[in-house]
């Protein structure tokens, strides 16, 4: 019995024994590494905190699907173009001054991992789980992060380029907007109300946070168009969330902000909204008490009447559209005046809308100039 016990101890001494507590990682339990120790270290080649580990030996001992490398340390390691099995679990790993150029890490669970000073150009992180990961001074130009889970991932001094792809939508939005969902309302691009007892609210928060981080990352790298797109997507997430969870006042306000200004980013929508207001009011004026215009001989009332005929009514509408334009612009040009009642109320409302939309146009234009710098 004593000899057996001594044998067990000697075997244990030859094993890594690195224990990783994964209490903070959802869906994973703790794990103890039972790989053989490497060289003069007391850890295996994956957990030894030494620099410049031999790439060939790492490739020869590469893990298989189902194995876990939680807490692995890669310091000054050459791993470019490495082709590891998809779907590995390497949470809480440290990549320091490594070369991951062209490496295939698709589907890998890299939650809570740290990337510091890493050359990750062209790395394949498609479908990887990068939640809570940190990218410090990491070069991600040309990297593929389509479908990657990026909630709480932090990009600090990271480099990206137009070739860096994050997919059309972040994965959390794809999960929310399932095209097969029978609750989907295509006209509004939203999903209908649902009981808030599932994790859809968490997905909305994750999608909003991810778009906000990607917007900041794009701004830091001078990618103005991408930054605007992520901004619009972030606002769309909040709008859809308001509709789904029945916050109708917020939903209507966000819908109006979307259609009239493109969330404050599209001056053409403000101009289009202004034209619609002018034309709509111009058509309504002659349907109310009308608009009057004094002439040298008499006072003309521009009001639609069936007895006047189509041509004269059309001319009157053109006149009231002109009056609507000068009222909207608050120019007050000419002697045309709304004839008491509803026409005056409409003129006051249009003048107010005109001032608001003009100020809004200046705001949107200024914002676009700031974005383009």
Instruction: For 70-87, write each residue's pLDDT tens digit.
Output: 889 999 998 887 777 778
CB 316 within 8 A of CB 291: no
Report the distance separating Cα 168 and Cα 306, nearest Å. Answer: 54
pLDDT band for position 33 (50/70/90)?
confident
- 337-338: strand order across its sheet: 299-302, 291-294, 337-338
β-pair partners for 96: 75, 116
User: Given pLDDT bands bounded at 50, 70 and 90, which one contains residue 181?
Assistant: low
DSSP helix/strand/coil, 301: strand
- Angstrom CA distances, 208 to 117, 173, 343, stand at 27, 9, 45
On the question of pLDDT at 9 being above 50, the answer is no
Confidence of residue 3 (pLDDT cuts 50, 70, 90): very low
Residue pLDDT, tens place only, 229-257:
999 999 999 999 999 888 899 999 999 99
Neighbour count for residue 354 (Cβ, 10 Å): 22
- Can you tell me the distance from the alpha carbon of 205 to that of 199, in angstroms, rounded to the nearest whole number? 10
Digit-coded pLDDT (tens) for 323-353: 999 999 887 656 788 887 888 999 999 999 9
| Average predicted confidence (pLDDT) for the chain | 85
Q: What's residue 278's pLDDT?
A: 95
pTM reported for the whole predicted model: 0.82
Domains of the chain: 14-261 (no CATH), 267-372 (1.10.287.70)
pLDDT at 136: 96
Q: Which residue has the higher pLDDT, 181 or 312?
A: 312
Per cent of the chain over pLDDT 70 is: 89
Residue 45 to residue 16: CA distance in whole angstroms: 9
Average the pLDDT over 56-79 and give the result. Answer: 85
pLDDT band at 268; cut points 50, 70, 90: very high
Q: pLDDT digit string (tens) for 108-140?
A: 999 999 999 999 999 999 999 999 999 999 999
* pLDDT for residue 18 is more than 50: yes
Q: CA-to-CA distance for 39 and 57, rounded, in angstroms?
A: 12
pLDDT 10s digits, 303-323: 888 888 888 889 889 999 999
Q: Do residues 45 and 58 touch, judged by C-beta distance below 8 A?
A: yes
Predicted pLDDT at 64: 78
From residue 328, alpha-carbon distances to 134, 171, 280, 323, 352 in Å are: 52, 45, 11, 9, 8
pLDDT at position 32 is: 86
Instruction: Show the CA angle centred on residue 84, arms to residues 72 and 157, nearest 5°.
Output: 60
Higher pLDDT, 270 or 5: 270
């Amino acid at each position: 019995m004593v000899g057996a016990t001594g044998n067990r101890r000697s075997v244990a001494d030859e094993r890594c024994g690195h224990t990783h507590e994964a209490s903070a990682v959802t869906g994973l339990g703790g794990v103890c590494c039972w790989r053989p120790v490497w060289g003069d270290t007391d850890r295996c080649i994956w957990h030894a905190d030494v620099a410049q580990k031999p790439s060939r030996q790492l490739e020869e001992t590469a893990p298989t699907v189902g194995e876990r490398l939680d807490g692995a340390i890669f310091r000054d390691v050459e791993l470019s173009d490495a082709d590891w099995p998809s779907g590995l679990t390497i949470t809480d790993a440290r990549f320091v001054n490594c070369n991951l150029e062209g490496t295939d890490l698709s589907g890998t669970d890299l939650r809570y991992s740290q990337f510091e000073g890493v050359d990750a150009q062209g790395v394949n992180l498609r479908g990887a789980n990068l939640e809570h990961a940190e990218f410090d001074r990491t070069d991600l130009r040309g990297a593929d992060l389509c479908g990657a889970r990026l909630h709480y991932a932090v990009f600090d001094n990271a480099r990206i380029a137009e070739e860096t792809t994050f997919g059309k939508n972040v994965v959390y939005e794809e999960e929310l907007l399932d095209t097969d969902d029978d609750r989907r309302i295509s006209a509004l691009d939203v999903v209908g109300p649902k009981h808030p007892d599932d994790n859809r609210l968490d997905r909305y928060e994750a999608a909003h946070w991810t778009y906000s981080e990607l917007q900041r990352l794009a701004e830091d790298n001078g990618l103005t168009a991408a930054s605007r797109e992520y901004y619009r997507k972030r606002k769309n997430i909040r709008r859809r969330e308001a509709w789904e969870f029945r916050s109708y006042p917020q939903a209507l306000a966000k819908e109006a902000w979307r259609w009239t200004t493109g969330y404050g980013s599209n001056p053409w929508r403000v101009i289009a909204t202004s034209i619609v207001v002018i034309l709509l009011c111009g058509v309504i004026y002659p349907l109310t008490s009308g608009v009057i215009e004094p002439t040298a001989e008499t006072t003309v009332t521009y009001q639609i009447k069936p007895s006047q005929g189509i041509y004269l009514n059309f001319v009157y509408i053109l006149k009231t559209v002109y009056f609507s334009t000068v009222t909207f612009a608050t120019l007050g040009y000419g002697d045309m005046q709304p004839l008491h009642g509803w026409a005056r109320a409409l003129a006051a409302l249009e003048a107010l809308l005109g001032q608001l939309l003009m100020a809004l146009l200046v705001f949107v234009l200024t914002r676009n100039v700031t974005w383009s710098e």
